Amino acid sequence: MTQITEAKKGNITEEMKVVAKNEGIDEEKLRRYIAKGYVVIPKNINRDTKPVGIGKNLRTKVNANIGTSPDFVNIKLEVEKAKVAVKYGADTVMDLSTGGDLSKIRKAIMEAVNVPIGTVPIYEAAKIAKEKFGKVIDMNEDIIFKVIENQAKEGVDFMTLHCGVTKQSVDRLKKSKRVLGVVSRGGAFLTAYIIYHNEENPLYKNFDYLLEILKEYDITISLGDGLRPGAILDNTDRAQIEELLILGELVERCREFGVQAMVEGPGHVPINNIEANIRLQKSVCKNAPFYVLGPIVTDIALGYDHIAAAIGGALAGYYGADFLCYVTPAEHLRLPTIEDVKLGVIATKIAAQAADVAKGNRLALELEKEMAFARKNHDWEKQFNLAIDGEKARKMKEEIPSKDKKACSICGDFCALLLVEKFLR
């Protein structure tokens, strides 16, 4: 029993009711979208969380990645990052830990926050393989599927699984003249596995078995883009699209099987290719929810990649991406700090709101309207309440105050609004 199987039967679940209410859309319409696979509600049957809908006609959602690395392990800090991410509006959190006791970290995060939690199980498989055999490359099917089953039982709500990294797509990759080969960690593990062992990707080879596990717990599969380009120079190349075509085929198998599916996308995309990327995914993946990583629109924003990603994410959302993975200022440099997580979430929330406004989402427009009237009325309290980070806005305003309480210190008593309002009445 999954959301999609229920929806196909015509049943409106409790989760669907909550999502319909939060999004201000009709329950029956939502049910139809879920039945068709246009919307997913990632929620493991073993976990009690606030249901979040992702997909067609819903507000653009934001994910925050956190987690340890082999270089830096601090569980408390990761839990704090998860809390900060949710505080500033992340709709979901992915635990991408690769250092320390992964199960313990996962559980701590799942206890700390009440949003859907995602993972990339191949990371844990790689870690186990390295510890057991000394090398990631010695990963095997058993390790991979045991990890997936174990995480499923623990209550993970959605899993990124790079099922489209196959002999065929890796072949296309080898023929390409990409500058940066593979920049996805999961994609790299599987590409290396396929080439080294000359074997098919276990996740692809045993896709039906994988679907059985996911279905049992109603885990939403996030079909990972392991071959996404890692540079503007490489964007939208043949290897990326080959993988996307495979993911499109797998989406249909997920839907038939009764597993909720979304598809991941790039990455590094210049503004002029974002629309094509979104339209192509929506077409070949039959309107599956699209989960984009950024995209960042230039590679020279090192230290400010949250801004490069907000540009790409806003545009992607406008063209139809449903789910934006945040990028923090620390991207390409180091693990994010708590402040980085905060800035990453806020930048991505701005992008999501901008996309929703542009798409004409009623709730997003309502927020803009309230802000416009708060400004008209010089109601600063209301403005702070409506702002994504009202705390910071208030602090900033108070740092250099204006003598005129209605104005701010940019214009003081030359405030345009105050000057002209009496003449326009």
- Run of H or E residues at 107: helix 102-112
Give strand ranges (E) for 125-260.
158-161, 220-223
Query: Contact between 338 and its own copies (CB under 8 A)?
Result: no
* Total residues at interface with its own copies (CB under 8 A): 108
Q: Which of residues 248-307 bind its own copies (CB under 8 A)?
A: 270-273, 297-304, 306-307
Give 173 or 221: the residue with its C-beta nearer to its own copies.
173
Residue with tokens 């809390």: 83
Residue with tokens 């596990």: 213
Q: Which of residues 143-182 bind its own copies (CB under 8 A)?
A: 173-174, 179-182
Give 171 or 216: the residue with its C-beta nearer to its own copies.
171
- Least Å distance, CB 116 to its own copies, is 23
Q: How far is CA 253 from the centre of its chain?
A: 22
Query: Contact between 77 and its own copies (CB under 8 A)?
Result: no
Query: Contact between 196 and its own copies (CB under 8 A)?
Result: yes
Beta-carbon contacts of 174 under 8 Å, excluding residues fewer than 6 positions away, are none
Query: Contact between 393 and its own copies (CB under 8 A)?
Result: yes
**289: which 2 tokens?**
């929810």
The contact pattern for its own copies, residues 104-133, with x = CB under 8 A and - = no contact, is -------------------x--x-------
Give 46 or 402: the residue with its C-beta nearer to its own copies.
402
User: Does the annotation flag 186 for ligand binding?
Assistant: yes
Residue with tokens 């440099």: 333
- What is residue 307's three-state secondary structure? helix
- What is residue 275's three-state secondary structure? helix
* d(C-alpha 385, C-alpha 35), whole Å: 37
* d(C-alpha 254, C-alpha 260), whole Å: 7
Q: Which of residues 230-249 bind its own copies (CB under 8 A)?
A: 230-234
* d(C-alpha 117, C-alpha 160), whole Å: 11
- List the binding residues: 65, 94, 123, 162, 184-186, 225-228, 264, 268, 291, 332, 408, 411, 415
- List the binding residues for substrate: 65, 94, 123, 162, 184-186, 225-228, 264, 291
- List the binding residues for [4Fe-4S] cluster: 408, 411, 415
